[in-house]
Amino acid sequence: MIAVTFGGACHDVTTRIDQRGIITVWKVSNNEQPYRILICDASPVTCCFAHNKKILFVGTDDGCVLLYDLTEPTTMHQQMELEKNMMTVMRNATYTTGWQNEIHTSPIVCLGSVGSFENMSQLFSIDESARLCVWVVVDIISDVDDDVGLVPHGRVKLVKSSVINVISNKPSSSGLGGSATFAVCPDSNTFYVGTDLGDVISCTRENKTRTYNLPGNKSSVTSISFNQFISTLMLVSYKSGDIALFMLDRDTPVISWPLDGTSILSCDWSNSRPSVFFSLDSTNHLQVWDLMAMDAAPVSDDSFEQKVICFSVDGHSQKSTNLLVAFDSCEFEILKMKSHFVNSVSTDEVEQMTSLVQSFG
């Protein structure tokens, strides 16, 4: 499924729906109409699905974290006539953290969901002031719950687990500036935050921190991605146009690639091969990297006519790789990678990739 957030209308409007934030959820198999239409009073700025795809989390510009239970019956929500003789269900949030004003006091810039940690689903939210909150997703068992953030008959809510000020003791980093990125280490015990001055700060649940940086680079971190096959490899992209490959036991990268000063919007590892990753730059170019074939430059570079705003890798299968590319026109494309970017070049590609990275350092 795909989720898209829209802020309120930028011009004077009188209709009730145009004055609210909207999130549309789509099934890839049906591009005719949204699977769910969600509404909120503030402007949604970021969102992510729970691991089971039955819950969508949304962060807003007023510091709220919203939870939408996508399985709720339509009778729990209002219907609105958007087209003549056609009623559409507009779903409100199942749970909101808006009443907990002491947690986030600035816009949410990033959300991250972990499928299971100690048999609990968890959500991480971080705001512009680098305040990070860990939430536990709780199923409601009793028919009576006095949590004021929960709607009547709601069956899921968020419970605050801990709050950490990630860079409060890091004078070299001024803040997140609305462009933060965030990732959770595969062990689910450490999370990583990219700052506006080029640092990647790791924090454990015990509040232990460590800083990673690309020497000489003070531009914003735009993405962080962990290798699904070798969990100690971290890929970081920067607004300056650099991509850096880190090993988690080193504070500086083992190798980096400058791309002629063109800003990198995002990079992400392949879900099917340990040596392949993808990067997207601000000139609408999507690069494919295969380090086993060539470690100095991408092996493929394709451009789009429309302005690309982001892409993501479908990580549900290791037998195929699909990329979802989003354009500023609100259109999407799903790209299927060629077989040689999906099928391993050898039976021990993980070991070969590990040796290759060690040779860089």
In this predicted model, what pLDDT tens digit does every residue of 285-341 receive, in sequence order? 999 999 999 999 999 999 998 998 888 887 665 667 888 888 888 788 888 888 878
- Return the CATH number at 242: 2.130.10.10
Confidence band of 15 (pLDDT split at 50, 70, 90)? very low
What is the reported pLDDT for 178?
Answer: 46
- Listed residue (112, 8, 106) closest to 57, CA to CA: 112
The token pair that represents 38 in the structure block: 């969600």
Question: Do the domain assignments include residue 37?
Answer: no
Question: Do the domain assignments include residue 146?
Answer: no
- Listed residue (286, 183, 173) closest to 235, CA to CA: 183
Question: Do the domain assignments include residue 219?
Answer: yes
> Is residue 225 a contact partner of residue 217, using CB atoms and an 8 Å limit?
no
> Is residue 121 a contact partner of residue 56, using CB atoms and an 8 Å limit?
no
- Listed residue (295, 344, 302) closest to 325, CA to CA: 302
Torsion, CA 182, CA 185, CA 191, CA 192, rounded to 10: -50
259 against 352, higher pLDDT: 352
In the block, residue with structure tokens 């089971």: 52
What is the reported pLDDT for 118?
Answer: 57
**143: number of Cβ within 10 Å:** 7
Please give the Cα distance from 87 to 95 (Å, whole number). 24
Q: By mean pLDDT, which of 145-159, 258-272, 318-332 is the weakest?
A: 318-332
246 pLDDT exceeds 90?
yes
For Cα atoms 273, 220, 244, give the angle at the middle one, nearest 5 degrees.
35
- Listed residue (245, 243, 256, 250) closest to 287, CA to CA: 243
Q: By mean pLDDT, which of 91-105, 247-261, 327-341, 344-358 is the weakest?
A: 327-341
> Is residue 117 a contact partner of residue 190, using CB atoms and an 8 Å limit?
no
Question: Do the domain assignments include residue 168?
Answer: no
**168: number of Cβ within 10 Å:** 12
Question: Do the domain assignments include residue 30?
Answer: no
In the block, residue with structure tokens 């705001």: 127
Question: Do the domain assignments include residue 274?
Answer: yes
What is the reported pLDDT for 2?
Answer: 81
- Listed residue (6, 127, 1) closest to 70, CA to CA: 1
What is the reported pLDDT for 10?
Answer: 47
What is the reported pLDDT for 338?
Answer: 83
* Burial per residue of 66-90, b for 16 or more beta-carbon CB atoms within 10 angstroms, e otherwise: bbbbbebeeeebeeeeeeeeeeebb
Q: H or E stretch including 354?
A: helix 349-360
Question: Do the domain assignments include residue 264?
Answer: yes
Please give the Cα distance from 130 to 347 (Å, whole number). 42
Confidence band of 209 (pLDDT split at 50, 70, 90)? confident
Q: By mean pLDDT, which of 99-113, 117-131, 266-280 is the weakest?
A: 117-131
Q: List the domain range (segments joined by +) for residue 254.
A: 204-361
3-state SS string for 219-240: CCEEEEEECCCCCCEEEEEECC
Q: What is the pLDDT of residues 339-359, one digit of tens each?
A: 878 877 678 999 999 999 999
157 pLDDT exceeds 90?
yes
Number of independent structural domains in the chain: 1
β-sheet bridge partners, residue 55: 69
What is the reported pLDDT for 171?
Answer: 45
> Is residue 123 a contact partner of residue 112, using CB atoms and an 8 Å limit?
yes
Q: Which residues contact 29 (CB under 8 A, 6 or more apart)?
A: none
Question: Do the domain assignments include residue 186?
Answer: no
86 against 134, higher pLDDT: 134
What is the reported pLDDT for 317?
Answer: 58
